[in-house]
Each structure stands twice: as C-alpha cells, then as structure tokens.
Amino acid sequence: MPLSDKELKQFDEEGYVFFPGKFSPEEAALLKQEAETVYAMDRKEVWRESSGVARTAFAAHRYNEGFRRLGAHPRLIKPVEQVIGGPVYMHQYKVNAKAAFDGEVWQWHQDYGTWKRDDEMPEPRAMNIAVFLDDVTAANGPLLFIPGSHKMGVIDAGHDLETTSYPLWTLDRDKVAELAERGGCVAPTGVAGSMVMFSSLLVHASPANISPLDRTIAYLSLCHVDNHIRAYNREEWIAHRDFTPIEALKDDCLAELVAERQHAAE
C-alpha cells in the first residue's frame, strides 16, 4: 500500500513516519524468536556489549530465514522505493538488541554522516526502515528523533571510538541542543510489529536500557542502486557491496513462515 499524501508530507517536514502495528503479533513474535537464535550464535557479525550481551547482529538476512524474508518484505521495500524514487539495494542490515538492564546507549548521530565518510556514498538517497520486535516504551531505550534535523544537511561530527563497542560519527552536545531548540525531541513508541521509516540525515539516538524489558529492533538501510557506495573501507557484512535491486516478496511471506514453524512443532 503506497504512502498517502499526508504521510509523504510528514516525511518531508519531520524526516520520519511511524506506522503502529504494521506487522501482526505473530509475525513480530516469529522475528523476535529469530533474533534470539541469531544472538546466540558465535559469529563475527554479532557484536556484543562490554557485559557480553548482544548489541547488534549485522547481515542477519544472509544466515537466518526470517530476516531474509523481512529483508525483501514489500511493507518495507515499497515505501522506501516510493520516497527514494526507484529500485533499492541493501546497504546495511542490523538487528539491534537493547537488552534489559544492559543495553548501552547509541550516541547522537546521522546515519548518512557515517555512510558518506566511511563508505563514500555519493548522496543521501538512502534511509532506514525499522520494525519493532518488542514493545517499545518510554522505559526501555526508545529511539529519539529531532524532527526536521534532516533538512540541515551533513552536520560536523567526531569519530567516537570509545563510548561503546561500535564506532560511530557522533554530534557534540551543543549542536544537539541547538537542533532540539528548533525541532524538539520525540520518541516513537508502540507495540511489537510497529514500523518506522526515517531519513538517513535525521539526527537520532537511543538511551541506555536499565529497565527489565528488552527492546529489539530490526533495521534495513536501503539505498538507491545508482547511489551505491564507492569505497570499501568496512567489512562487507557491515557495508554491503552487492548492489542488485531487491525484488519484493509476497506480503504473506512471513505469515507463511509462521505457519510452517507451527506445523513443524505439531
């Protein structure tokens, strides 16, 4: 289903659109189970917090069937194609764990800032589209957005190699405070299965999760095929080099997997 004029206007003005309950509880539960399976793997793609719990799993669509299907799901691919104006490839795929009690902060940043500096992506014709695999609340480390900050272009940033296990190009406090004075700060929250699409220039972060509630989100970073990266400075499983356009699967591809798993368990 294409984005409405109202949704397109919101994306243009605020830099994001939130879709509550876009996936069914059964589809979300399947993907949460797949995430737990992935986090238990001893793979180089699974990065961990200093405490040892999973922080993120890169490229899960390459070694997990549920995430393979999510990576080509029309509810994610089609809205991005509509906004970007053409076919997309998978630049990056992450399943971010914000584990109960131990999920660490993601600092203030712009995704395109990293993609431009580290990967030489020519233009910000790319974006994130994400699916909540847990209920996301005010308590368990939700995403924080500064609406309208995507209109500021690429903002100066420093390369933070120390705060967490994952290096990130981050904005300083003065710049974040200045942006928030203009656009405020919001935290989209909702039930598992909700979806959010946001510009690669939107300034965002997430706080540490000291609650007893997990917060898991799957992110597809999609880029127009003509805008693919030019430099290969990072591991291929972090910044992909296959620029083949994604062909969307059927809308019931995850529901079919739910049925298959239920049948196998009987």
Band (pLDDT 50/70/90 cuts) for residue 162 is: low
96-146 pLDDT, tens digit per residue, is 999 999 999 989 999 999 999 999 999 999 999 999 999 999 999 999 999
Band (pLDDT 50/70/90 cuts) for residue 168 is: confident
pLDDT higher than 60, residue 165: no
68-80 pLDDT, tens digit per residue, is 999 999 999 999 9
204-259 pLDDT, tens digit per residue, is 999 999 999 999 999 999 999 999 999 999 999 999 999 999 999 999 999 999 99
Band (pLDDT 50/70/90 cuts) for residue 166 is: low
Find out whether 201 and 106 touch, Cβ atoms under 8 Å. Answer: no
Q: Provide the percentage of residues in the chain whose pLDDT is more than 90.
A: 90
> What are the sequence ranges of the domains in the chain?
5-265
Report the top-level CATH class of 5-265. Answer: mainly beta
